[in-house]
Chain A
Amino acid sequence: DSGVTQTPKHLITATGQRVTLRCSPRSGDLSVYWYQQSLDQGLQFLIQYYNGEERAKGNILERFSAQQFPDLHSELNLSSLELGDSALYFCASTGPYSGNTIYFGEGSWLTVV
């Protein structure tokens, strides 16, 4: 158990819909990362937050947004969903007590039908 908690574990939704994925980082971790893993594109970095503020942005679509709340949990919002958004979405966290190691949650499987 990495200590990073993601919900839901599995989600099936229709095209055009909106979903929210939630992540609780390890206790004490201030940084949260979101990654997308699809079959054909490997691990794609989406966005990073540090203590509530956006720190870095990767290949995140405009239809996607994220935020980190004062209690440090984070949410990834995916809207106007397309079939190609079907993927495994990972959250990861690190912080001053993580020994410069980034720990991953088990991921949220999103299927768009």
Chain B
Amino acid sequence: GNSVTQMEGPVTLSEEAFLTINCTYTATGYPSLFWYVQYPGEGLQLLLKATKADDKGSNKGFEATYRKETTSFHLEKGSVQVSDSAVYFCALIGAQKLVFGQGTRLTINP
């Protein structure tokens, strides 16, 4: 079946540091890939998505590229801010089923 594996957290960085959160997946066919973010005390928000190989999703300075050859969808940001502190979930949808990774808690210190 489909599965998503995320880099284990928690991750703690200083403000303006470079961020990478790794995500790899196993799926049949050609799933769409997503990053969701959950800020403290809030629900899940869609951060970005990519629907086919080599697509790059981007939003709020975050980027992720759909890499079919490495089955990866790593999340990156060049300069993180304190307000980026949240839990990040990688996910895929295939045959209308959404499968999540375990989530990575990110804390940014000023």
Contact = CB atoms under 8 A, between A and B. Distances in A.
Given A90-B44, A104-B43, A106-B42, A43 B97 contact: no
B103 A101 contact: no
B43 A105 contact: yes
Contacts of A99: 51
Contacts, number: 50
Interface of A: 2, 31, 33, 42-43, 45, 48, 50, 55-56, 88, 90, 92, 94, 99-107
B49 interface: yes
Interface string B12-46: 00000000000000000000101010000011111
A101 B89 CA distance: 14
B46 A103 contact: yes
Q: 6 smallest A-B Cβ distances: which pairs?
A: A106-B43, A104-B44, A107-B43, A43-B100, A100-B32, A102-B98
Nearest to A94: B96
Given A31-B96, A90-B44, A42 B36 contact: no
Give the contact-size bracket for chain B.
10 to 19
Interface in B23-77: 32, 34, 36, 42-46, 49, 51
Contacts of B46: 2, 101, 103-104
Interface of B, secondary structure class, is strand
- Which of A43, A55, A88, A107 counts the most B-chain CB atoms under 10 A from its CB? A43
Contacts of A50: 96
B100 A90 contact: no
Contacts of B45: 2, 104
A90 B43 contact: yes
Given A100-B51, A101-B34, A42 B44 contact: no
B86 interface: no
Nearest to A92: B98
A99 B34 CA distance: 12
B91 to A, nearest CB: 8
Given A94-B96, A105-B43, A106-B43, A43 B89 contact: yes
